Amino acid sequence: VAAPADPATTAGSLHSRAARVLEGNWTGTSTVPSRGLYPHQWSWDSAFIAIGLRHLSPLRAQTELETLLDAQWGDGRVPHIVFNPSVPLDAYFPSPDFWRSSTAGRAAGAPRTVQTSGIVQPPVHALAAWLVHRADPGLSRARGFLPRVYPRLAAWHRYLLHRRDLGGGGLASVVHPWEQGMDNSPCWDAPLARVTPAPARSFRRADLDHGAPEDRPTDLDYGRYVRLATDYRDGGYADGTGDFAVEDPAFNALLIASEHALARIAHELGAPGTARHARAERLTAALVERLWDPAEGLFFCRDVRGGGLIPERGVSGLIPLLLPALPRDVTGALVGTASGPHFGLGGPARLVPSYDLTGESFDPHRYWRGPAWFNTAWLVERGLRLHGERARADALREDFLSTADTSGFAEYVDPYTGDACGAGDFSWTAALTLDLLH
């Protein structure tokens, strides 16, 4: 009879395997999300990666964020990809010759020396910077980490709150599905339907060299992504004119959580953080006013060009649980929705599915149309814990760790079986595993 596994040993080996994944994906100045599929630096990936890396090497975690912020544009935007010049152009699409950041982005202040994309991703960075600082305040102070990153993070938030308030209600809009990070979520289907796709023969999808076509977004989706990005680029990356503009609950919740973190950073640097905390609370109220549906007990995306809330239930609508100033009735209803038939938390589902289990567009394998992702599970776990839902948070943490383990740190998993999908040895899965082990 085999001796029962010693939890300390199992945890130890999970820890060292997660650390090895991050070691293998480290380039010297940042971490790639995965060696094959995503061979450059991605913005929100780096924030999640830094949150885990801080437990292994606070210096590497600081460097991860500094490398990303070095590629910031003059107008404050932090690009969603920073390209590694030593990776061949055909390894990932769209490549630097598509975005042409240093020429097409000149008016918006794109850097001259490093090539980047021209769109953004969710602003998890100030939250990450604060957590990284807290992991080793001595090293952080000795290196002047916070004084260095604070002005950049403040400019980043300024960009989002001013240039991206396309709906006029105080929230930031995304202008491309890649910006929100959940590329082919059914939440984008209606606003994307208005976009004329670029012809399939006008681009080559490098993602299909690594991922199964039935798991990845469709060619039709890609045609629309390419059209939106081309139009944005050809307009010099100026904001406010594009066909696609959506206020997304997760994107804005992460901005608000990061605004609270910026308040703490300001306070640490000797300035009062009260104005920023107050702004974060005002933004929380705007989020509830513009995106909360009390009858459904969920936050929804607002189609700024089409006028209304988009009636699709995505995991994005649960992420505001992360916010401390959310009214109690809202948090209670959100916990109920997460645990009910649409998301199956603690019931039939593993982690938290990316989309409504009962939804018409649900697909357990196709990217953000059903599968469960580790970064969103980490965010929901944090929210549950913040609002005193300890048993649910503990159960989600256990599920996260065992699924990360059995799936080989998968990019995402089937929400019913936990089977691995997408890339393996995925950096944010390993990083957030480390975070939950601490």
Does the footprint of ligand 9WN cover residue 183 (CB under 6 A)? yes
Nearest to 84 by CA among 22, 27, 23: 27
3-state secondary structure of 42: strand
Does a cis peptide bond (omega within 30 degrees of 0) precede residue 348?
no
- Locus of tokens 């991860």: 64
Establish if 45 lies at the interface with ligand 9WN (CB under 6 A).
yes
**Closer Cβ to ligand 9WN, 150 or 412, answer by number:** 412
- Give the type of residue at 124: V
CB 53, min distance to ligand 9WN, A: 16
Which token pair is 149?
A: 């990153």
Q: What single letter denotes the amino acid at residue 14?
A: L
Selecting among 64, 165, 183, 268, the annotated active-site residue is 183
Site for ligand 9WN, residues 363 to 392, rule: CB under 6 A = none
Per DSSP, 82 falls in state E
| Nearest to ligand 9WN of 76, 422 (CB atom) | 422
- For residue 146, the Cα-to-chain-centroid distance in whole angstroms is 22
Quote the least distance from Cβ 411 to ligand 9WN, whole Å.
Answer: 7
Residues numbered 133-162 forming contacts with ligand 9WN, rule: CB under 6 A: none
Q: Which of 26, 42, 48, 374 binds ligand 9WN (CB under 6 A)?
A: 42
Residues 300-359 that bind ligand 9WN (CB under 6 A): none
Q: Is the Cβ of residue 178 or residue 292 nearer to ligand 9WN in the bound state?
A: 178
Number of residues lying near ligand 9WN (CB under 6 A) = 10
SS3 173: strand
Q: Whose CA is closest to 217, among 32, 343, 370, 429?
A: 370
Helix axes 374-386, 390-406, angle to 10 degrees: 160
Cβ nearer to ligand 9WN, comparing 94 with 383: 94
The reply to whether 44 sits near ligand 9WN by the rule CB under 6 A is yes
Angle at 343 between CA 340 and CA 349, to 5 degrees: 105
- Residue 425 sits in the site that holds ligand 9WN (CB under 6 A): no
First and final C-alpha spacing in the chain = 31
- 181 binds ligand 9WN per the rule CB under 6 A: yes
Query: How far, in Å, CA of 343 to CA of 301, rounded?
Result: 17
CA distance 108 to 90: 26
Determine whether 183 is an active site residue.
Answer: yes
Query: Looking at 37-45, 327-335, 358-366, 401-409, which segment touches ligand 9WN (CB under 6 A)?
Result: 37-45
Place of tokens 């149309």: 369
Which listed range, 38-46, 237-245, 255-263, 394-402, lies at the site for ligand 9WN (CB under 6 A)? 38-46
Quick note: the x/- pattern for ligand 9WN over 200-229, rule CB under 6 A, is: -------x----------------------
Catalytic residues: 183, 411
Binding residues for ligand 9WN, rule: CB under 6 A, are: 33, 38, 42, 44-45, 80, 178, 181, 183, 207
